[in-house]
Each structure stands twice: as C-alpha cells, then as structure tokens.
Amino acid sequence: MRPLKTLQKLYDEESQVVITEKGSPPRALFYGENFLLEDLPVGTRVIFPRPPLAGVPNVKAAIRWAINHPEDMEPLHALLRPGMRLTCVIDDISVPLPPMATPDVRQSILEVVLELCADSGVDDVHLVIANALHRRMTEGEMRRMVGQKIYDAYYPDRYYNHDAEDPDGMVELERTPCGTHVVAVNRRVAESDLVVYVNVNFVPMNGGHKSMGTGVTNYAGLRAHHNPKTIRSSESYMEPSRSELYRRNERVGKAIDKHLKVFHIETSLNNRMFGPGVDFLHKKEEDYTEGDRLKLHGMRYALGKLPRAAARKVLNSIPAPYDVTGVFAGATEPTHAKTLEKSWQQYVVPVQGQSDIVIFPIPFISPYSVNSVLNPLLVQVMALGYFFNLNRGVPLVKKGGVIILTHPAFDEFDPVQHPSYIEFFNRVLPETRDAMEIEQKYEKEFAENPSYVHLYRKGNAYHGVHPLYMWYWGENGRQHVGKVICAGAENNHVPALLGWDRTDTLTEAIEEARGFMGRSASISLLRIAPTVMVDVK
Amino acid sequence: MPAAKAAFYDVDGTLVKTNVVHVYAYYAMNRGSILGIAGRTLATAASVPLFAAMDALDRKTFNEFFYRYYAGLSEDRLVAIAEDMFEDVLKPALYEQTRDLIDQARRAGCRIVLVTGALDFSMRPLARYLGADDMIANKMQFVGGKANGKVIPPIIEGANKANAIRSYCVREGLALEQCHGYSDSASDYAMLSVVGRPTAVNPDMRLRSIARAYNWPILDLK
C-alpha cells in the first residue's frame, strides 16, 4: 500500500486533470461575453485550474513583515532619511484580471509605506503608475486603485500616470555603443533617492526586472525587448530561465539597479477570480450542484439576451475577490524568486505529454481591454500570446499542432482606447502578417504618428506602436502551431485577416482539426479562467 | 531614407477656439475713429445670424460674402493691427494642447503647415508663434493700398484646400500619403481625404460621424 504522503501528492497532482468519458458533463467554456456549453470527444484531457490557495490572514501585517525583513536589502525604514526624495512606482490596471475587489493590494501596500514615510520625515513622495506604453488610467480607476484617502492627498500633482512621450520627462541611463539599445526611465524616478516598486504578480511574467525595465521606460527603451526576434527566441514568457524576453529585461533591469536604489514589494495572489454568485466557475463541471447548473443556464440566457456592450458592462462590473497569498520585499532578483515560487504553486498543473489539438476558451477580458472591448488583435494575443505561453518551458500543443479558440471574433474596436489598433488591423494585416516585415516597415510610423502620441499622452489610448507589440506577442505561438481555428466566429473576415480558419461550432472545429492532425489526434482543453499553467512532463 | 512629410493644420476651431468672424470683429472694433468703430461693429453684429446661415449652407459662399466686409480697410493698418489682434484674440484662444500637438508632429519629422481660410496677414503672427514652416491662406486683393473685399482666387476652402495641399506636396517633394491632416469641420472633408493620415480634432457632428466611419483618429483638444 502506498504511504499516505505519496497518495496525497498523487491526488494533488492528478486531480486537476480529467479525462473525458462517455458520461462526462458538458464543459462551460468562455466565449467572449458569454459561455458555450460543449460536450467534448471521449478521451479529451481537461486541465482545470488549481483551487485557490489560502490567503495570508492579515495582509497589512504581511506587508509590514516583508518590508521589515527584506531580501538582500536593509529594511525599508532603515533606507528612509528625512527630506529625501522618494517615488513609489505602481503596477497599472492591466493586472490583476478582472480588477480585484477593493481594497486593492496596492492600496494596502501604499497605506503602510506612506505612513512609514510620513513617520520618517519623508514628505517629497510621488506615486507614478508604471503604465509604460499602456493607456493612462482614468481618474476613477486611479481612485479605486489606491483608495479615496491617498487619492485625495496625492492626485493630481503627486499621483499620476507615467508619460513615455514627455520630451522632458525621461532620463537616459545607458546606451549601447551602437546606440540601438537605450536604458531610459521616467525623470522623477531617475532623480529619486529611493524608488519603491509596488507590484501585483498576476502571472509569473509580471514582476522582477520587468517591473522597472518596462513599466517606466519609453519606446526607445522598449525596443530592446519588444521585438519579434526576442519573442521568437522565447520558449515561454512565464518561465524566466526560458524567456529571452525576460533575459533582455534582466539586462535592462540590472543597468537600472546599477544607477538607482529600488526597493521592490511584490505580492502574489491566489486564483479566486470569481466571487459569490459566480463562484461555481471555479469548479469542475462534475462537481456542479443543481444550483450551479441553474446559475450557469440563467447567466447564459441573460448574457445572450443582452446587447454585447451591456453584457460586457455586467461582466466588467464583477470584481475578483482575490486573496493575497504572499508579500515579498527587497532586491529585485531574490524577491522575485520568492514571488515566482508562490505563483507557480498556485497556477502550475503537471500534465503528461503534449497534445495535437488544444482548446483555449477566450474570456471577455485581457490585460489591455479593462473597461473596453476585446478586439480581434487582443483575441489573437490572448490565444497565441498568453494562453499558448501558459506553460513552464514546453507548450501544451505539439509543434505543428492545432489551437482551437472559442470566441465570436467580432470586428469591434474601442476608438478611445485602441485607435491605432484600428489602422493596424485594417491597413497592415491585409498587406502582411509577417512580424519581421511589419517591424521593418511600419513600427516607426505607428510609434511616431503624432495623433496617436497625442491620444496616448492626453487621452486614454494605448500608444500607437502597441498593436504591433500585440502582433509580436503572438509570434512564438504563430511560429509553433500548424493551424488556428476560431470556433464560433461570427464573421469570415476577422479570422481570415488573422490567418485563421473559422467554424460555426466547437464540434466542427474539432472535426477540422482532426482532419488536419489525424483521427487519433490527442485533444486537451485548458479550462481557463481562472488562470492555470501547465508543466508538461 | 523615409519620404519627407508634412502635417497640415486647419486653424479656426482646430488649433484655436475662434473663427474668422472674431478676427474681423477685432479689426472692426479698432477702426481708428468712433464713427468707424460704431459703424463696422454694429454692421458685423447685425450680420452674425446671416453669417451663421450662410456658413451652414456653403462655406465658399460665406467666405466670399464675408470678406467683402474688409473692403475699404487699408493694408498697412491690417498688417499693423494683426500683431495686436494675435495677442488679444488668437493667443488667448489657442487650445492648451495645441503646442504639444504641433511639437509631436515636428518630432516625428513633419514639416508644419497651417492651411486656413483666414486671411494671410491675420495668421502670420500665429504661424510664427507656433513655429510653422509654411502657411496656405487666403490673400486679400488690395487696390491703391486699400482692401477691395475680394480674395485672390482660388479661395482657400473645401476642395481647394485639398488642391492646395496636393500642389504644395508636389512642389516641395513631400509624400502626400505620409502626410497628416487635422481639421474640426466636415467642410474640410476633402483636405482630410487627400492626406494619408487624417485626424479629426474637436469635430462637428458630421465630421465625427465621417471619422467614425473611416476609422480616423479623433482628438479632443483642450
């Protein structure tokens, strides 16, 4: 008889993988602003997210403990000097998804840090949102992120979005001899005696050197790693040791650490993405109660009857009741190593072998569409950029295999947040889908377009170059797979422009994929959301 | 080597909050004699509803009609008062973000060109202030040093703005498809269509709907 410890380990490792049998229930799959309820072929491997880890019992106590016992640095209180210039750099609204229920963990961290600053005579404090080339956060979003009290005290003079296009707002720290690679950061950050980075680690690719190397730099700085060549060389974005993207960020981050004193505070969250009322979405369908089934059907009916914009509004208005599972502080690398460990503990599910066909259900939200529309380019980046990379080193889908995604692929863009995406989709993609060619021919033009620069700086738009980054982001997925099928696409032209096939239903998509890979092709479903990562053995 | 390009800006309503009537009103109120001021100011005020109706009907007709009001004003006085008019009328009416918008275009390597239906002498101080490289504007005919109320054809408005931009690009060796155009009004639809990168700025209802239909960026300049 196996010892209890081994049995426990087996249970932990295997329980998130279910092989579909004849009597298996249909699966509830995200399909944009609604759900599909689909029977999958017998033998399909369904990979479920791990149940949420327990949160720390007292978040503020955990924050205090972390900043008093940091990794490879002195405690925060020992770094503070009266009259010094301090800047808190904060992760933006792209994490976590959906936005977490208030108080946001960033608010909790800032409440502790700012109180400590005040007690230590540090009054020259600015809060800078590390939005890089992401859109500026709105006043309402900024208020929600840090709470009314901090907002009232700091906004707008001392609490603001980073502006990567401010000609006087950037400082170049280093430049390679050939001048192609630049390490540049926000001027206020560069001229601070101490920088405190407030991080939310939603997935393992967040945090570490990426925080400063990406968050407060400009287009010239990002070019070092946001390019198709780097993406093609990255085996997984989620595992630093196999990510060229992270390696390049690391080089930039180390240069920043050489010039600036940065105290990182990183936090890991659990998987509790859905609150009361919709928490059945955490469960395997096998474990649904009658009530859960009723709720799912009711939700599908209601969302189906609502106009898409209203359904989106409803879904966006449900905050995620994430719990904080760990707070780590100190120098960049040792702090991030601890965060990664915790993050993997929550997300990683071991699985045996790759699959010929992998199904990704695409939800209504992405890091770049909070309070906006998941446009076709973002659907692309969710499938080929993020979900394809939710692994430790080896992708779930075999080389040359098929990815099936479930999304209506509607031709809808938000002109406020994504104006340059519209031009990219309608002008560039009909001409070429080759990321290298796109970089050569169009990147500079989109990056420098004065209208897009203006909309980024003064409006709430993503930078002109951002749609190109979204296309690059999908590059290693595109290079790896043999075919992508969009199941349930409501039109022909969006999948065609993205270089995909389309079918009306998931069943037809599986049939087509089997036609491509053979009748005995293995199938896996990554049952997202909540977040799940695979460790393919 | 990338092709040379320019950014063409309409002025009234796009870069400044005012329009040609404000400019003329300033001249009317600085006529030099009490009788002159009273006469021209009252006539202008009384004509405002007519201006509005004509502008709504057709911009070209409005311009031709409107510039007749300049008849009899001396050239040297118009030029001399332009500097004060800029300080008193145009400069305070500039949108705060106008300079940023123009600086961004300059940093992107664009030549800055103002394209306006206003009269050239009234716009010169503004062009200088904004650092514009060039200006395409209407020119008043002067006879014996006095304006005769007629503009040297072709009058810069509507389709003629597009023609003027096209000719300018040919003359200066600019790639029209790389050029940017900025306007607030549907009457500049031709100007926006002719450039490769059109943008609507604080657009009227018609232009907003055109911009939405053609996926042109829309800026709300403040």
Find the CB nearest A450 among B2, B105, B218: B105
pLDDT of residue A288: 96
Judged by a CB distance cut-off of 8 A, whether residue A169 touches chain B is: no
Q: Give CA A508 to chain center in angstroms.
A: 30
- Block residue for tokens 């800055």: B112
CA distance B184 to chain A (A): 14
Which residues of chain A register pLDDT less than 70? 1-14, 179
Find the CB nearest B101 among A415, A419, A450: A450
The whole-angstrom separation of Cα A475 and Cα A493 is 21
Substitution target from B97, B199, B221 for chain A, most A beta carbons within 10 A? B199
Q: What is the dihedral of CA B50, B52, B57, B63, to 10 degrees?
A: 80
Residues B94-126 pLDDT 10s: 999 999 999 999 999 999 999 999 999 999 999
pLDDT of residue B18: 82
Cβ pair A453:B104 closer than 8 A: yes
Q: Are strands A85-91 and A124-130 parallel, antiparallel or unpaired?
A: parallel
The whole-angstrom separation of Cα B179 and Cα B173 is 12
Which chain B positions have a beta carbon within 8 Å of A420's beta carbon? 217
CA distance B5 to chain A (A): 11
pLDDT of residue B69: 74
**Are the C-beta atoms of residues A359 and A39 closer than 8 Å to each other?**
no
Cβ pair A415:B218 closer than 8 A: yes
Q: Is A17 left (phi over 0), alpha (psi -120 to 50) or beta?
A: beta
pLDDT of residue A238: 87
The B-side interface with A (CB below 8 A) comprises: 2, 7, 97, 100-101, 103-105, 107-110, 178, 180, 182, 197, 199, 212, 215, 217-220, 222
Question: For the CA atoms of chain A, what is the radius of gyration?
Answer: 23
Query: Which residues between 447 and 486 in chain A have a beta carbon less than 8 angstroms from any beta carbon of chain B?
Result: 448-455, 457-459
Q: What percent of chain B lies above the pLDDT cut of 70?
A: 82
Q: What is the dihedral of CA A302, A306, A309, A315, to 10 degrees?
A: -10
Query: Which residues between 428 and 447 in chain A have a beta carbon less than 8 angstroms from any beta carbon of chain B?
Result: 444-445
Least confident of A263-272, A481-490, B59-68, B209-218: B59-68
Q: Which amino acid, residue A311? A: A
pLDDT of residue A7: 59
pLDDT of residue B179: 97
End-to-end C-alpha distance for chain B, whole angstroms: 35
Cβ pair B110:A450 closer than 8 A: yes
Residue B197 bridge partners (DSSP): B180
Judged by a CB distance cut-off of 8 A, whether residue A415 touches chain B is: yes
Find the CB nearest A451 among B2, B103, B217: B217
- Residue A157: which residues within 8 A CB-CB, separation 6 or more? none
**Are the C-beta atoms of residues B179 and B4 closer than 8 Å to each other?**
no
Q: Give CA B87 to chain center in angstroms.
A: 17
The whole-angstrom separation of Cα A350 and Cα A356 is 17
Cβ pair A422:B215 closer than 8 A: yes
Query: Can you point out the beta strands (E) in A42-148?
Result: 45-47, 85-91, 124-130
Q: Give CA B27 to chain center in angstroms.
A: 17
Which chain B positions have a beta carbon within 8 Å of A426's beta carbon? 215
Residue A184 bridge partners (DSSP): A172
The whole-angstrom separation of Cα A425 and Cα A413 is 10
Cβ pair B108:A450 closer than 8 A: yes
pLDDT at residue B25 is higher than 90: no
pLDDT of residue A14: 55
Cβ pair B215:A423 closer than 8 A: yes
pTM equals 0.92
Which chain A positions have a beta carbon within 8 Å of B214's beta carbon? none
Which chain A positions have a beta carbon within 8 Å of B97's beta carbon? 454, 458
Cβ pair A448:B180 closer than 8 A: no
Q: Which amino acid, residue A420? A: S
pLDDT of residue B28: 65
pLDDT of residue A237: 86
Number of alpha carbons in the 13 Å side-chain half-sphere of residue A287: 11
Average pLDDT, chain B: 87
pLDDT of residue B85: 87
Residues A109-143 pLDDT 10s: 999 999 999 999 999 999 999 999 999 999 999 99
Residues B121-161 pLDDT 10s: 999 999 999 999 999 999 999 999 899 888 898 989 889 99
Query: For chain B, how many residues are written?
Result: 222
- Block residue for tokens 């296309």: A471
The whole-angstrom separation of Cα A499 and Cα A475 is 12
pLDDT of residue B63: 73
Substitution target from B100, B106, B177, B212 for chain A, most A beta carbons within 10 A? B100
Label residue B78 by pLDDT band (50, 70, 90): confident
pLDDT of residue B64: 72
**Are the C-beta atoms of residues A156 and A147 closer than 8 Å to each other?**
no
DSSP A373: -
Q: How many A×B Cβ pairs under 8 Å? A: 54
B107 → chain A, closest CA residue: A448
Burial class (CB in 10 A: 0-12, 13-18, 19+), B153: exposed
